[in-house]
Structure 1
Amino acid sequence: MNAQERIRQAVFSAGLGRQKREVKILIDTLELQLSLLRGETPNPIDVRSIGRPGRLRLKIQKKAALSDRLAVNMLAMIATGRLRPGTQVPPERRIANALTASRVCVRSALNRLKAIGYLEAVQGSGTRVVSQTDRIEALLRANRENLDDLSEFCDFLDGMLVERAIANGSDKGLAMLAGSVLQSAPADGQGHREVEWRVHLAELTGSPVFPLLIQHLTRGLRTYFDAIHRSPPGAETRQALEGINIRLANQIARRKLSEARATLAERSQLLRAVLHPLPSAPVRSLEEDELLRELAAQQPGNLRDTIAREIAGMIATGQLEEGDRLLSERRLADMFGVSRVSVREALAILKQNGLVAANERSGTHAVSDPPLGQLANGLTDAAAEGVPSFRDMCAIRHYLEVWAARRAAVRAGEADLLAMRRILAEMRRSTHTPQRRIDLDLNLHLTIARAAGSALHLFVSEVLRNVVMGYFNYSLTDPSIGGGRDALLLEHHSEIVRAITARDAQAAAAAMDRHVGTFRDSYASAVA
């Protein structure tokens, strides 16, 4: 190798090393953001598998132990400044008593946070939050990104919720909602009231989509509104917010949709003004008794029930049809990231409820028109509730995909751009099975979301995962869309990636809007 070739090789290696570092920083940040949003989600996406050639691995989150949930709750307190650097953590015994848990469980949670650098043991004085470090700074930034994303998403979601609630809610329900809105004036410790009236609002929509989405977003929304309510506005802003709340309550009760939308926009702008810029005064650190109350964690659900709901959802959305053979216990265990014992117990529940049937020779099969009961009561079966519900989910996805494309054009690193081009190149082959085409399509959209640095987008994709998969199944396999589908998809995807690569945010958003809108409209026409 001559000198010139060695220089080229060194430059290439340096560039490759820089790309790997960029990807690691991005993934570490996204995983931090997701841990703050997630709590417990049925089947999280492995951020590290996005953009790779192989099939995406979708595993059930196994943070079901109380010790893991305690660790996540404490991490969130550090991220929001409620446990400030150097703050003493209560003794294991007091935490264990407050949670009705064993000291072994508490010690496991504390050791986990020590191992990843957020807590430290100090000889003679117990455990405390580490002093200000790069790791703490990264955690605070991750939380800040979540707050900014939640602020934008709330604007969109609130508009949809109000529109559906005014159209479908009863007079009594809207009157009660108006009362909840009036009680949501900013004050320390009152952030939960913002979440409560949105829960009530979601229930009035008449759709199964919104209550369950709000349920999954509760942790993030509570953090967002707590941050606002812990930074009380000045007297003038407070008076303005109180006036806005009165107007909004009256407009909702009287079903004045256009006025309510305008008032919501005005309200959101004022709330963002409270949140930005960050208050100069530090957030008040929790007293020990307050900390113990906030650390109260519920016992997690049973893993076998979670797996059973996942498979029931696949049946409800048509991903498993009558006679379809399920994967073997070993392969299901690998796919969900659990033991074969948990899979076997889940299948026993499904058999008992008539969702699957077993045959010694041919294995376990899905049953047509099973009595779903309460097993498929998540977002996974919302498409089966009717066209309006599925349209609601399409609208949510439409907003998030356009948002992600716009941000990816600004934020995407070279590694993610390379992954997008690699996926496009594989899409151009005509030999793929329908399942492989679905995997590639989903992988491209998730790569764009990761490039955008949007943990919220990935989190909602986790929550809506089975429904999103049903959407991709329809888009790529349903004969009602007609000929030319593959060519149209490739044209759309190429246009999106070109715009992102060119760093043209407006063109990327427009291309994604066209792409998602085309298939949303095709679905609407097919079921009309």
Structure 2
Amino acid sequence: MLGTALELKLSLLRGESACPMDLADFGRLAAIDLRTQTKSARSDRLAVAMLEMIASGRLPPGARLPPERRIAEAASASRVCVRSALDRLKLDGYIEAVQGSGTRVVSLERSERLIPLIRANQENLEDLQDFVAFLDRCVLDHLLRRAPDAALARAADAVAGPCAGPGTRAPAEDELRLRLVLAEASGSPIYAMITGQLARGIRSLFGSRLRAAGEAGLGRLDGERLALAAALARRDAAAAQAALASRAAILRGLASTPPAAGAGAPREEAILRDLAVASPEQLKDRLTREIAGMIATGHARDGARLLSERRLAALFGVSRASVREALAALKAEGIVVADERCGTRAVDALTSLAAADLDHLQTMSRLRGYLEVWAASRAAERGSDRDFADLRRILAEMGRSHLSARRRIDLDLRLHLTIARAAGSAVHLYITEVLRDLMTAYFDYSLTTPAIGGGRDAMLLRHHTQIVTAILARDTLAAGRAMAEHCGAFSDRYAMLDADREMLPCGLAADLAARD
């Protein structure tokens, strides 16, 4: 099913085995294409859903799977689809048909695939836990600084609302709901998008962590949740961040708690319930996100109009009916409107989301800083000889004179993606995939606008040389410091613009329009 550990981790995170990014091509000198494959087979997604259950221990070695008919009913799929998913898992050595005993997960002794699978899932959860803790702090900070009083009061009420009750799945849903509420109330479409796209991973993360929690642990989490709600109601940033830190510490403690002994094999009802809620993103939802991202950066327009249904269908390799469903969802959200004279068009206030708004650019800068510094340190530790050869090749071309501005931006983005690949971080690459249009707009604006990075080619080459040199020397501390200096240079410039917005009397949106 999958060729590398990174592809396996990406599949567990995304819920699909087809990787939208050519991981092997990051270091080659060709156009970067992060376009998502939107047309994945239902059986493929179901196979990865069961794979994640095996990796997380919800289907432990030797566990018996429910009959095909019941899996099909729970997952709203045909039996042909279920059989295809099971055949893939059998072929890859994760499950086996046992005479007189049905289909079971293989034992650890009988498969070389289970240990790498479990390890890949565990690394995903550890990376997710760190990133979600960082994201929580960012969302809370943005919410308390930017949200109007009415929005903050609604968020406080929602956070203080009743939780779902006992059981491992219900508390995990509570943790996801809390984060979706805060991200939506923050008013940042970027934080809302990331949280929504990480929903599957967040469920898996907290389902795993809370499986070891007893009533006392859940009670402590609930107490800090109420403390967080009270702090939000008072707009008390210090108390809110303290409550958030306490919850993170409790969850980390649960992660180190061994699972209860004697739990036994999972009940069939529990397996079917997990399959029913573990389905990855539907095609309509994926298309909706894809088209919204293109609208955000102006890539979905043909003049004043959006690209036609026919052209969008051809672009994504789907039917016009699927595109029509996605556009209907965007109309309901107010992102596009139907105009009798001009056809379907984007709402002007929502176009050029990343590059037209300084707040969004600062958000991207903050997210990028966290991910890049972390990736550089790990790339120095884990990068392969092939990764290092790709980094040398990209850096060598960066040092050439007379490169076009477009080529410099392409190489810059490629260098950072290669570092992410070398780090083996599925979380980093998945977030890059989710935000790829916004990330591209961020790079374009940051590297061409004189007030930020434009015209600083010597500085950028020096930064990149320091980063790559430290990674090649496998010096994790130096790599992290060099990347922090590089990302900090952009963060500082965005902070200066934020402190003195009158530097841009016509607005960033007008500047972007002029460049386009």
Is the pair's TM-score, using the shorter chain for normalization, greater than 0.5? yes
Q: 1:127 aligns to what SS in structure 2?
A: strand
Q: 1:76 aligns to what SS in structure 2?
A: helix
Measure, in 1, the Cα distance between the counterparts of 2:70 and 2:301. 52
Unaligned runs of 5+ in 2: 337-341, 502-516
What is the aligned partner in structure 2 of residue 419 from structure 1? Answer: 390
Assess if the C-alpha contact under 8 Å between 2:43 and 2:84 holds in 1.
yes
Find 1:293's aligned residue among 267, 270, 273: 273
Assess if the C-alpha contact under 8 Å between 1:84 and 1:285 holds in 2.
yes
Q: 2:103 aligns to what SS in structure 1?
A: strand
Find 2:249's aligned residue among 257, 269, 280: 269
Q: Kindly state the Cα deviation for residue 136 of structure 1 after the two structures are TM-superposed.
A: 0.6
What is the aligned partner in structure 2 of residue 7 from structure 1? Answer: none
State yes or no: 1:29 paired with 2:5. yes
Q: Kindly state the Cα deviation for residue 163 of structure 1 after the two structures are TM-superposed.
A: 1.7
Assess if the C-alpha contact under 8 Å between 1:43 and 1:59 holds in 2.
no
Measure, in 2, the Cα distance between the counterparts of 1:211 and 1:155. 15
Q: 2:158 aligns to what SS in structure 1?
A: helix
Structure 1 length normalisation: TM-score? 0.79
> After the TM superposition, which residues 67-216 of structure 1 pair with which residues of structure 2 at under 5 Å, given as runs?
67-132=43-108, 133-167=111-145, 168=147, 170=150, 171-180=152-161, 183=163, 188-189=168-169, 190-216=171-197
Assess if the C-alpha contact under 8 Å between 2:447 and 2:453 holds in 1.
no
Measure, in 2, the Cα distance between the counterparts of 1:457 and 1:443. 14
Measure, in 2, the Cα distance between the counterparts of 1:453 and 1:33. 9
Per-residue deviation, residues 252-274 of structure 1 (Å, max 9, x unmatched): 22221112212322321221111
% identity of equivalent residues: 48
> After the TM superposition, which residues 83-482 of structure 1 pair with which residues of structure 2 at under 5 Å, given as runs?
83-132=59-108, 133-167=111-145, 168=147, 170=150, 171-180=152-161, 183=163, 188-189=168-169, 190-233=171-214, 235=216, 240-276=220-256, 278-279=258-259, 281=261, 285-296=265-276, 301-302=282-283, 310=290, 313-318=293-298, 339=317, 371-372=345-346, 382-383=353-354, 386-481=357-452
Measure, in 2, the Cα distance between the counterparts of 1:240 and 1:483. 50
Assess if the C-alpha contact under 8 Å between 2:43 and 2:82 holds in 1.
yes
Measure, in 2, the Cα distance between the counterparts of 1:219 and 1:184. 18
Measure, in 2, the Cα distance between the counterparts of 1:413 and 1:179. 48
Structure 1's 299 and 161: CA in aligned 2 closer, same or farther, altered over 3 A?
A: closer
Per-residue deviation, residues 429-479 of structure 1 (Å, max 9, x unmatched): 224333332222111101111222211111111111000011111133335
Assess if the C-alpha contact under 8 Å between 2:379 and 2:471 holds in 1.
yes
Measure, in 1, the Cα distance between the counterparts of 2:453 and 2:184. 37
Measure, in 1, the Cα distance between the counterparts of 2:448 and 2:263. 52
Measure, in 2, the Cα distance between the counterparts of 1:454 and 1:207. 25
Structure 2 length normalisation: TM-score? 0.81
Q: 2:198 aligns to what SS in structure 1?
A: helix
Q: Kindly state the Cα deviation for residue 393 of structure 1 after the two structures are TM-superposed.
A: 2.3
What is the aligned partner in structure 1 of residue 513 from structure 2? Answer: none
Structure 1's 320 and 138: CA in aligned 2 closer, same or farther, altered over 3 A?
A: same
Q: Kindly state the Cα deviation for residue 58 of structure 1 after the two structures are TM-superposed.
A: 2.5
Find 1:511's aligned residue among 482, 505, 511: 482
Measure, in 2, the Cα distance between the counterparts of 1:200 and 1:308. 21
Assess if the C-alpha contact under 8 Å between 1:178 and 1:253 holds in 2.
no
Q: 1:295 aligns to what SS in structure 2?
A: helix
Structure 1's 310 and 225: CA in aligned 2 closer, same or farther, altered over 3 A?
A: closer
Assess if the C-alpha contact under 8 Å between 2:63 and 2:266 holds in 1.
no
Q: Kindly state the Cα deviation for residue 187 of structure 1 after the two structures are TM-superposed.
A: 5.1
Q: Kindly state the Cα deviation for residue 401 of structure 1 after the two structures are TM-superposed.
A: 0.9
Unaligned runs of 5+ in 1: 1-24, 356-367
Q: Kindly state the Cα deviation for residue 239 of structure 1 after the two structures are TM-superposed.
A: 5.9
Measure, in 2, the Cα distance between the counterparts of 1:482 and 1:214. 29
Assess if the C-alpha contact under 8 Å between 1:41 and 1:216 holds in 2.
no
Per-residue deviation, residues 297-354 of structure 1 (Å, max 9, x unmatched): 6696447x85686466345314578769x99x9x9999x7x64x7599969999xx99
Q: Kindly state the Cα deviation for residue 522 of structure 1 after the two structures are TM-superposed.
A: 3.7
Structure 1's 262 and 86: CA in aligned 2 closer, same or farther, altered over 3 A?
A: same
Assess if the C-alpha contact under 8 Å between 1:419 and 1:447 holds in 2.
yes
What is the aligned partner in structure 2 of residue 56 from structure 1? Answer: 32
> After the TM superposition, which residues 36-51 of structure 1 pair with which residues of structure 2 at under 5 Å, given as runs?
36-39=12-15, 44-51=20-27
Structure 1's 288 and 316: CA in aligned 2 closer, same or farther, altered over 3 A?
A: same
Aligned partner of 2:448: which letter? T
Per-residue deviation, residues 219-270 of structure 1 (Å, max 9, x unmatched): 11111111111101585x5665454344333222222111221232232122
Query: Please, what is the CA RMSD of the aligned residues?
Result: 4.1
Per-residue deviation, residues 76-128 of structure 1 (Å, max 9, x unmatched): 11011111112221221222233343211111111121222212223443322
Assess if the C-alpha contact under 8 Å between 1:67 and 1:109 holds in 2.
yes
Per-residue deviation, residues 147-196 of structure 1 (Å, max 9, x unmatched): 1111111221111122222331525313313414x738885332111111
Aligned partner of 2:250: which letter? L
Aligned partner of 1:372: which letter? A
Q: Kindly state the Cα deviation for residue 408 of structure 1 after the two structures are TM-superposed.
A: 1.9
Per-residue deviation, residues 395-433 of structure 1 (Å, max 9, x unmatched): 111111111112222222332222211110111122433
Q: Kindly state the Cα deviation for residue 387 of structure 1 after the two structures are TM-superposed.
A: 2.2
Measure, in 2, the Cα distance between the counterparts of 1:156 and 1:393. 14
Measure, in 2, the Cα distance between the counterparts of 1:248 and 1:412. 40
